[in-house]
Amino acid sequence: MNLLMCPVCREALHLTEKTWSCVNKHSYDVAKQGYVNLHVVQHKHSKNPGDTPESVQARRAFLSAGFYAPLQHAVVTKIRELKINNLLDIGCGEGYYTDAMQAEVSQCIGVDIAKNAVQVAAKLNKKVTWVVGTGATLPVLDASIDLCTSLFSPIPKQEILRVLKPNAYLMVVTPATEHLYAMREALFEEVNPHESHKFVEQLEDAFELLEECVVESAFTVQQTDLKNLIAMTPYAYKAKPERRQVLEQSEQFKLTGQFQIYLFKKK
């Protein structure tokens, strides 16, 4: 069953050879890398929205080295337990988590606003439907999705409610209190703990919190991996350049990734 929606008229899209089209003859070609761009001009607020190519490449290099593998494993295990048919990964980025999720469902859609990220992701796994699109108008049909996932990504609440089936699920992954604390301490004069629980408060009127857990990953990074980690986070532009420079001169650095996983059910 096809799940994609035309971003112009909101009718169902159907794939014929290498073109997605709707009854109103709006059509979208599948790019040679294997993704479709459903981020139409009228929904754009900038020419190249989302992550920069540098940030995407840094994230690909860091994640493929396995530092966040415990989180990937925890997410996949949870999806396996849910025994669902399809999922939509919102803010899929370069596809590290989406690629692993795909094996647990019949249909998997990865959407991200950054075209350069989706181009990289599309080379990973041809079984995923990779889409350039925006959370402001998720490019899938009403009440068609069993699970929406948002890992370190925005949570477009009303759109998620629109696309989820009744009693379907939402999984949110966000930094836990102590996430990368040593790195933040090196980059900033004052370190504020992550407030992951704010997402629960934002969603509690429409979603029931079923489960929450914290996953930890302790690791030591060499200089190259440390530079990639900084480059893939918002700290890259939030920290003072001189503090970043000092940290990047470290030959190796001990860190702990601490991730908060929430599983919600649509009320």
Q: Which residues are annotated as a binding site?
A: 6, 9, 22, 26, 68, 94-95, 179
Helix (H, G, I), strand (E, B) or coil at 210: strand
Return the DSSP state at 140.
B
CATH fold, domain 33-177+191-214+258-266, is Rossmann fold (3.40.50)
How far is the C-alpha of 114 from the C-alpha of 107, rounded, in Å? 22
Q: How far is CA 17 from CA 21, 24, 123, 127, 208, in A?
A: 11, 18, 19, 16, 41
How is residue 143 annotated by DSSP?
Answer: T
Q: Give yes or no for residue 44 having a pLDDT over 60.
A: no
Type and span of the H or E element at 101: helix 96-101
Q: What is the rounded distance in angstroms from the CA atom of residue 237 to the CA atom of residue 77?
A: 34
So what's the pLDDT on residue 55? 93
Break the chain into its structural domains and give their ranges.
Answer: 33-177+191-214+258-266
CA-closest candidate to residue 154, choices 49, 251, 30: 49
**How much of the chain, in percent, has pLDDT values that exceed 90?**
90
- The pLDDT of residue 48 is 58
Q: Which residues are annotated as a binding site for S-adenosyl-L-methionine?
A: 68, 94-95, 179
pLDDT at residue 43 tops 60: no
**pLDDT recorded at residue 40:** 84
Q: What is the pLDDT of residue 45?
A: 52
Q: Which of 62, 133, 68 lies closest to 100, judged by CA?
A: 68
122: helix, coil or strand? helix
Binding-site members for Zn(2+) are: 6, 9, 22, 26
pLDDT in tens, 118-156: 999 999 999 999 999 999 999 999 999 999 999 999 999
